Amino acid sequence: MSHTNDSVVAPDVSSSAASTPESIWQAVLGELELSISKANFTTWFKSTSILRYERGEAVILVPNMFTRNWLQNKYHKDISKALQNVTGERITKISYELHSQAEAVEEQHKKMEEEKLREEQSTRTSIPVPVATMRTPIGSPSIPNATTALNSKYSFENLVVGANNELAIAAARAVTKNPGTMYNPLFIYGGVGLGKTHLIQSIGNAILSADSQKKVVYVTCEKFTDDFIKYIQNSKGREGDSSVFKQKYRTADVLIIDDIQFLSGKERTQEEFFHTFNELHQNNRQVIITSDRPPKAILHLEDRLISRFEGGMIADISMPDFETRKAILRSKCAEKDISLPEDVADYIAQNVQSNVRELEGAVARVIAHCEMNGTEPTQDLAKSVLVSAGSAERRANINPKQILDIVSGFYNIEIDELLAKNRKKEVVWPRQIAMYLMRVEAKTSYPSIGQHIGGRDHTTAIHAFEKVSKLLEGDESLQQEIDILKQKLYL
């Protein structure tokens, strides 16, 4: 912990030889720990080490390729800066290598795959794989793909890769190749309409097309909850019926559950999901989860579930940048056999910044307008269509009431409670976020924010704004939380 002190004093080139690479890396970690959020630090740096450091060149060892990508893309500058501070040398090169343990694991996976293949080739019948004993034979014929609830229109092929989703896609592809082995669970999170459902359904479809015998179950969290409630109602006193629910979920090879944030506050369903999860996980079945926020930010979710979710691979999807939005636009137009002039595509990609679903909606509206009026799509037309639909100009019209709605929904707290004189921690924080958003997104004056938030004093609004702004500075997960709220606001 106090290692920073001795290593920092090394502006003299020769003295860096006195510190070992390990002590340099420890000092770098000490610096990084101070500058990034604890969650991110633990996720991305906990299992790193250093192989070599020599005159401004470092080789960092990472446990897997996702960490490598992540460090390269997101933390490269921070690492370089910290290294420079610690060594006093100009850092000219940092490379990231997988450490041997990780290689060994990957090697192991490869071997397992090869063995499996050999077994399958030598005999199609009964080599009893241990997990197979877990399956309860079902009387009915094997479940057709239709009942997996997967939509075949979602595939990796029609998912455009950008900086916003490339890690999530890489993780998804790894899971597709080796379900149940490497990243289990796979937890994907991001705001509304950014392609989470598309991505996880692509995994399901790809796994099925590689092996149609695999039992892939896709379910929304709401459907899971409904099924569970029905199961409880039906199974009262009738053991036979109760197994249908379990058979559906606990015998899946791949369970994909969408929008898990809706488990918030549902204690019994959480408990059931916990057992379902454990059973699948123990038997090396793949679990894939999406959420609109990271596990820790899901309110009223049991700690043991949070820690299960954090035990696998977590990847986020954010809003695509302009170039990626254009690529998505082109791909959607090609799918529908529509052509848009370059300047119109540019205009739409430039002005629809909330999410991909809205991007698709904007194209559809422009095209519909052209078809109805028998005109060609032009930039002016796109402009008028989008403005009247509210996409381009919506930012100006956000009002405090909408903010309260969004905040209330996101944190699962009644608006009344947000406005009440309630100082409970679960309420105070969302209330402060609401005030912050009113200031930033709706440009509401402090006195007016006070009014909207249950007749409070303007100083309360100022305090909330300042507090959230300050916290936002170094806290990436808070930044993400606010981004998600903003996205919901502009949907």
The residues of the shown chain that bind ligand ADP, judged by CB under 6 A, are: 159-160, 165, 190, 192-198, 328, 331, 356-357, 360
Q: Which CB sits closer to ligand ADP, 174 or 363? A: 363
Q: What is the size of the binding site for Mg ion (CB under 5 A)?
A: 2
x-or-dash string of contact with Mg ion, 177-196, rule CB under 5 A: -------------------x
Binding-site partner at residue 431 among ligand ADP, Mg ion, none, CB < 5 to 8 Å by type: none
Q: Which CB sits closer to ligand ADP, 4 or 318? A: 318
**If you count them, how many residues does the chain have?**
491
Do the beta carbons of residue 255 and residue 223 sit within 8 Å? no
As measured in angstroms, the least distance from the Cβ of 189 to Mg ion is 11
Do the beta carbons of residue 310 and residue 475 sit within 8 Å? no
Q: In what order do the strands lie in the sheet with 254-258?
A: 216-220, 254-258, 286-291, 186-190, 313-317
Question: Beta partners for 286?
Answer: 254
As measured in angstroms, the least distance from the Cβ of 142 to ligand ADP is 28
Per-position b or e across 186-195, b if 16+ CB within 10 A of its CB: bbbbbbbbbb
As measured in angstroms, the least distance from the Cβ of 292 to Mg ion is 9
- Per the listing, tokens 């000219």 go with 92
Binding-site partner at residue 61 among Mg ion, ligand ADP, none, CB < 5 to 8 Å by type: none
Residue sitting closest to ligand ADP (CB) = 195
Q: Which CB sits closer to Mg ion, 197 or 276? A: 197
Q: Which CB sits closer to Mg ion, 192 or 472? A: 192
- Per the listing, tokens 């997967």 go with 150
Distance CA 270, CA 247 (A): 18
Q: Which CB sits closer to Mg ion, 221 or 419? A: 221
Give the number of other Cβ atoms within 10 Å of residue 412's Cβ. Answer: 15
As measured in angstroms, the least distance from the Cβ of 263 to Mg ion is 15
As measured in angstroms, the least distance from the Cβ of 320 to ligand ADP is 6
Question: Beta partners for 366?
Answer: none
As measured in angstroms, the least distance from the Cβ of 473 to ligand ADP is 28
355 binds Mg ion (CB under 5 A): no
As measured in angstroms, the least distance from the Cβ of 183 to Mg ion is 20
Binding-site partner at residue 377 among ligand ADP, Mg ion, none, CB < 5 to 8 Å by type: none
Binding-site partner at residue 194 among Mg ion, ligand ADP, none, CB < 5 to 8 Å by type: ligand ADP
Q: Which CB sits closer to ligand ADP, 169 or 468? A: 169
197 binds Mg ion (CB under 5 A): yes
Tokens of 257: 């559950």
Binding-site partner at residue 458 among Mg ion, ligand ADP, none, CB < 5 to 8 Å by type: none
Question: Beta partners for 54?
Answer: 57
Q: Which CB sits closer to Mg ion, 204 or 377? A: 204
Tokens of 251: 């015998």
Q: Which CB sits closer to ligand ADP, 242 or 264? A: 264
Q: Which CB sits closer to ligand ADP, 186 or 468? A: 186
Binding-site partner at residue 266 among Mg ion, ligand ADP, none, CB < 5 to 8 Å by type: none
487 binds Mg ion (CB under 5 A): no
Residue 414: left (phi > 0), alpha (psi -120 to 50), or beta? beta
Binding-site partner at residue 357 among Mg ion, ligand ADP, none, CB < 5 to 8 Å by type: ligand ADP
As measured in angstroms, the least distance from the Cβ of 348 to ligand ADP is 14
Per-position b or e across 358-383, b if 16+ CB within 10 A of its CB: bbbbbbebbbebbeeeeeebeeebbb
As measured in angstroms, the least distance from the Cβ of 455 to ligand ADP is 36
- Per the listing, tokens 């791949």 go with 254
Site residues, Mg ion (CB under 5 A): 196-197
